[in-house]
Amino acid sequence: MLKNDWSNAALMSIFVASKYIKFKFIVSTLSQKLVIGVLMKKLRDITSTIWGYKPFSIIEA
């Protein structure tokens, strides 16, 4: 009886852990995309202030 409870508890903890890891993975990928997007925007702003124009104005001209 006790051994069975232990195995059930182990299975439950593994299940919960896998759910949690999946959730953490989704959150981390979303936050990475967000951070990369923000960094790209900052980089564009910095380059545009250095060069004195927006990077897209080259393509438009």
Give me the pLDDT at residue 43, please: 87
Q: What is the pLDDT of residue 45?
A: 84
Identify the pLDDT of residue 33.
Answer: 92
Task: Please tell me the pTM assigned to this model.
Answer: 0.45
**Could you list the residue range(s) of the whole structural domain that residue 27 is in?**
2-60
Q: How many domains does the chain have?
A: 1
Pick from 56, 60, 35: nearest CA to 47: 56
Model pLDDT for residues 16-56, shown as the tens digit of each residue? 999 998 999 988 999 999 999 999 998 888 877 776 665 55
C-beta separation of 55 from 47 below 8 A: yes
52-60 contact pairs (CB < 8 A, 24+): none
* Backbone phi, psi, residue 53, to 5°: -150, 165
